């Protein structure tokens, strides 16, 4: 068919065109992904600005949330405080447990048990957050009252455990639910790094007569530090962005209080879910503004995690 030179040229050109189109499609998809990320920032800002202009008080320092009131007044202070407090408490609970699970699945459990255990913990990540919220609401909240009362009774002199005598839908309960949701992330990432510990370091520890714990402390934990750190940061990102579970478990108020056992507290994400239905025009803009703050926090957290991991892995290699 392509015996003439011109025919051969034509054939080659159409073939190149197919390649060029496919390449453009693939590259265009990559570019479209960047456009989506940029659009998220742009449209959140665009829709937040009118509400921020209508706000008669300072957005960064106001505690209360009354954007549709006259005059409109709302601020991120109490919400941001609640988000950070619940997430940090969740990490306080979940990091030790998750590192323990990671050690169990990487070095402690026998082979026949390690795989199913890792699998079950992974399934924990698959349970929808609304189901965790429902469980927190109907099971955890009623059952947390007794331990909260004893914590307050014996440790009430510490400000965290002070209380006005009521317990239940508290920051403490929300943190436990968030901790359960963060465990699979932290343990999966820590485990990945633990099992990559150089074999000679482990063998060297055994060879000088170390017990298992001494081997873990001198070989695995120092090597796995970057994994624990990046897992923790990603777990923080998961906890601070969690909306529905917290909205179901917390009874919302807009105060800054360290009394984690008392009902009350709120987070940026949960506030969006609970106030969205009733929000008017300014109210919706205000919620978008709070979402923008959440977006910025998670961006900082993600960049931070990458920087830490990058630095540590370079340090580990040298």
Partner 1 sequence: MTLVGVASTVSSALIRTRLSAWSLTAIAVGTVAVTVVLFAATPMQGRVAFLLFAAALYVTALTTVSALVEGRRRAKDRLVTSIVVACSGAAVLPLIAVLGFTIAKGTAVLSGSFLTHTMRGVAEQDANGGIYQAIIGTLEQVGLATLMAVPFGLLVAIYLVEYSSGRFGRFVSFFVDVMTGLPSIVAGLFIFALWILALGQSFSGFAGSMALTVLMLPTVVRSAEEMLKIVPDSLREGSYALGIQKWVTVVRIVLPSALAGIVTGVMLAIARVTGETAPLLVTVFGNPALNFNPFSGAQASLPLFVFSEAGLPNETAINRAWAAALVLILVVLVLNVVARVLARLVSVRS
What part of residues 68-97 is at the interface with partner 1 (CB under 8 A)? 96-97
* C-alpha span between 91 and 229 (Å, rounded): 11
Among 237, 263, 264, 265, binds partner 1 (CB under 8 A): 237
Q: In angstroms, what is the minimal distance from the CB of 159 to partner 1? A: 27
Residue 244 burial (C-beta neighbours within 10 Å; 0-12, 13-18, 19+)? middle
Q: Does 314 bind partner 1 (CB under 8 A)?
A: no
Instruction: Indicate the angle between helix axes 221-241 and 281-317, nearest 10 degrees.
Output: 170
Measured CA distances, 2 to 7, 16, 20, 235 (Å): 5, 16, 22, 61
- Triad 233, 238, 240: Cα angle to 5°: 90
Please, which of residues 188-227 interact with partner 1 by CB under 8 A? 209, 211-214, 216
Among 164, 206, 276, 310, binds partner 1 (CB under 8 A): 276
Please, which of residues 128-167 interact with partner 1 by CB under 8 A? 128-135, 137-139
Among 144, 269, 282, 286, binds partner 1 (CB under 8 A): 269
Among 10, 46, 258, 307, binds partner 1 (CB under 8 A): 46
* C-alpha span between 143 and 162 (Å, rounded): 19
User: And the tokens for 59?
Assistant: 């957005």
Among 1, 6, 18, 110, binds partner 1 (CB under 8 A): 18
**Residue 285 contacts residue 47 (beta carbons within 8 Å):** yes
Q: Considering the complex, state which of residue 208 and residue 317 has its C-beta at the smaller distance from partner 1.
A: 208
Among 52, 54, 124, 145, binds partner 1 (CB under 8 A): 124
Among 142, 164, 258, 306, binds partner 1 (CB under 8 A): 306
Among 201, 218, 298, 312, binds partner 1 (CB under 8 A): 298
Q: In angstroms, what is the minimal distance from the CB of 276 to partner 1? A: 6
Among 90, 171, 183, 261, binds partner 1 (CB under 8 A): 183
Among 51, 243, 262, 275, binds partner 1 (CB under 8 A): 243
Q: In angstroms, what is the minimal distance from the CB of 62 to partner 1? A: 20
Instruction: Give the count of residues interacting with partner 1 (CB under 8 A).
Output: 88
Q: Judged by CB under 8 A, which stretch of 152-160, 197-205, 257-265, 284-292 contacts partner 1?
A: 284-292
Q: In angstroms, what is the minimal distance from the CB of 69 to partner 1? A: 21
Q: Considering the complex, state which of residue 159 and residue 214 has its C-beta at the smaller distance from partner 1.
A: 214
Among 60, 155, 158, 299, binds partner 1 (CB under 8 A): 299
Q: In angstroms, what is the minimal distance from the CB of 150 to partner 1? A: 11
Please, which of residues 99-118 interact with partner 1 by CB under 8 A? 99-101, 103-104, 108-109, 117
């Amino acid at each position: 068919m392509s015996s003439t030179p011109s025919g051969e040229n034509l054939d080659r050109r159409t073939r190149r065109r197919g390649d060029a189109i496919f390449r453009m499609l693939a590259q265009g998809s990559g570019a479209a992904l960047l456009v989506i990320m940029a659009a998220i920032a742009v449209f959140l800002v665009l829709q937040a600005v009118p509400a921020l202009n209508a706000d008669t008080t300072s957005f960064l320092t106001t505690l209360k949330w009354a954007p549709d009131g006259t005059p409109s007044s709302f601020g991120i202070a109490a919400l941001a405080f609640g988000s950070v407090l619940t997430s940090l408490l969740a990490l306080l609970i979940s990091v030790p447990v998750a590192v323990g699970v990671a050690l169990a699945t990487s070095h402690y459990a026998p082979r026949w048990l390690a795989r199913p255990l890792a699998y079950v913990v992974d399934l924990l990540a698959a349970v929808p957050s609304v189901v965790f919220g429902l469980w927190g609401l109907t099971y955890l909240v009623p059952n947390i009252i007794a331990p909260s009362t004893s914590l307050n009774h014996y440790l009430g002199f510490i400000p965290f455990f002070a209380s006005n005598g009521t317990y239940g839908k508290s920051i403490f309960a929300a943190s436990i639910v968030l901790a359960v949701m963060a465990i699979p992330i932290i343990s999966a990432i820590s485990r990945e790094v633990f099992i990559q510990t150089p074999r000679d370091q482990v063998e060297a520890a055994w060879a000088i007569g170390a017990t298992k714990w001494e081997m873990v402390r001198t070989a695995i934990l120092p090597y796995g530090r970057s994994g624990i750190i990046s897992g923790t940061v990603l777990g923080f990102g998961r906890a601070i962005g969690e909306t529905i579970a917290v909205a179901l478990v917390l009874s919302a108020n807009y105060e800054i209080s360290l009394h984690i056992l008392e009902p009350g507290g709120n987070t940026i994400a949960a506030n969006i879910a609970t106030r969205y239905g009733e929000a008017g025009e300014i109210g919706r803009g205000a919620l978008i503004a709070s979402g923008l703050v959440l977006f910025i926090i998670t961006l900082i957290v993600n960049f931070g995690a990458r920087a830490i991991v990058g630095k540590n892995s370079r340090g580990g290699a040298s």
